[in-house]
Structure 1
């Protein structure tokens, strides 16, 4: 793997993080980057993540052993057309798109398709751009690999090895299975989050009372609505069949709940929330999803000078790195008005123990 020549097309969050991970974790030293904006290229050259960069395809790209196309699906298909007759026959083309059926179907219908493996690293962030990327973005994240008709055992084994070396968990799955799963756990939730935000926007009073109070839980459950609108337009249109069916199912669940509420059916309402809680509690807390998890502690504190410094110093003395601290204006259903964000679950456990031992009332959320 170390001797492979790699090209990354699209040096945004995913492409930039891939470039960093391939160099630092896999040991690949020959990395070409293609990006429409020179700003990301300049930044990647400055921190020595890539060997060279350009806004146009060139001979370095055509000589690559592996090409990661880190663009929206429809743009990726355009690049496949530009590359198919110029790259080496054994060059592995792969993408990182959030939908797989459209691009795999396109490859399988080509008369002389290139060697292609669909890819989807299920990790990300609300932030975008090369600057938002980091080497460990893929740590413990599932990385879906979807074979096409041109995928060979060697190419799949090579890609699996690369995925493992960047810290991710490879999952081989059919394109249609992938799109149904991501439709349920990612695409429709994004639509719902944006719908909730728009609901408040439309229903809010002129003086913005709802916006003022939209802290805590509401802000957390709509966090993903801050993602790139352009990216999500592309995702929705490339997976509209699966999303349409899932939305129909979701609407039926809402209708059933509304009927239970109108009929004062307390048992049905209780079961609605209980079944969701029980199933939600079985989810793994050790695997990364499409968005970087947040490890937060709510601390109940007295509003007095120096209290924030006191907590920061206490955690610092115990070698706990604090990512962020926020004073909350709305406690909602949780006790506490200071939210401390930690970098990982281990830090969360240690910080919680330290705070409790020092007399603070602290809750992990």
Structure 2
């Protein structure tokens, strides 16, 4: 049983929220779910999970409240539940972009103890029926650490993520959004472009489409409404697109001149293989904002939160 939190309310019962609710029950936590979508709430209830009739009822007595609804719904949800939050409760979320959620919480619930979260564990399927309690195993899970973030609350969240099998990655909201613009937003935009470009080639091209096309366009199967919430409002995606367009323009220029794309292929191959071959070493940290941010920016993560007579100690992994 996880000791980080006694009672957890999960608001939003789609893929991530539903998976979290199921995983928390496997840990032995006291849980309750809520969803404004009556069909999602009914599906969770029919599966044997407790579902509250209102957000106020869900968060009552909870020491952890998880916002798991789509980003456009977050601001209204925070405003609605803020009067019902316990003063000692920790508020977190699971959204892809962190700065918009941080702004919404600071505006509507400035007294809340907030730790932004982003489990990088999504799949193309959505909804309660796609939920999987094992979804978070070995998945990176960004946990934001701003200058005014409670370190104790952050450590409790990191402990819970470790209990779920995830890898807590300390970061700021700004750094997280800049990173996901390149590794989430950009791949989705490129996948959409590839799907359309392949379609424009006609039936023959699509009949010959194999691994490269299928792998490259796979995430284009994601519902468009979700893709927009991961991309819109993230200025870092513009910089990422500029970089990608520069690479594509270079390849086009070379081909138009009768030259080779080999330089791009060589550099891309090296980037991908070097990423796969990264090595890590264990590290022990006395937790502080500076040490945790440095670990995250270096590409490391937390593996355990230990408690002893001297306070907390962290075990983690960092690249070498």
* Shared fold per TM-score greater than 0.5: yes
Alpha-carbon separation, structure 1, partners of 2:244 and 2:267: 16
Partner of 2:28: 27
Q: How many residues align?
A: 277
Alpha-carbon separation, structure 2, partners of 1:149 and 1:8: 26
Alpha-carbon separation, structure 2, partners of 1:94 and 1:285: 33
Q: How far off is 1:55 after superposition?
A: 5.2
Tell whether the 8 Å contact from 1:116 to 1:148 is kept in structure 2 after alignment: no
Partner of 1:224: 219
Tell whether the 8 Å contact from 1:38 to 1:55 is kept in structure 2 after alignment: no
Partner of 1:170: 168
Which among 83, 86, 99 is matched to residue 85 of structure 1?
Answer: 83
Partner of 1:342: none
Alpha-carbon separation, structure 2, partners of 1:54 and 1:213: 50
Alpha-carbon separation, structure 2, partners of 1:283 and 1:131: 33
Partner of 1:279: 271
Matches within 5 A, 1:260-275: 260-266=254-260, 269-275=261-267
Q: How far off is 1:228 after superposition?
A: 1.5
Length-normalised TM-score, structure 1? 0.71
Q: What are structure 2's unaligned runs of at least 5 residues?
A: 279-320
Partner of 1:244: 238
Local SS of the residue matching 1:144: strand
Per-residue CA deviation, residues 284-304 of structure 1 (Å, 9 max, x unaligned), is 489xxxxxxxxxxxxxxxxxx
Q: What are structure 1's unaligned runs of at least 5 residues?
A: 287-365
Matches within 5 A, 1:124-143: 124-143=122-141
Tell whether the 8 Å contact from 2:90 to 2:113 is kept in structure 1 after alignment: yes
Per-residue CA deviation, residues 62-99 of structure 1 (Å, 9 max, x unaligned), is 32111111112231122111122221111111110101
Partner of 1:18: 20
Alpha-carbon separation, structure 2, partners of 1:157 and 1:116: 12
Per-residue CA deviation, residues 161-219 of structure 1 (Å, 9 max, x unaligned), is 00000000001101111111110011011001001111233x244xx333322233211
RMSD (Å), alpha carbons: 2.2
* Larger CA Rg, structure 1 vs 2: 1
Partner of 1:337: none
Partner of 1:324: none
Partner of 2:51: 53
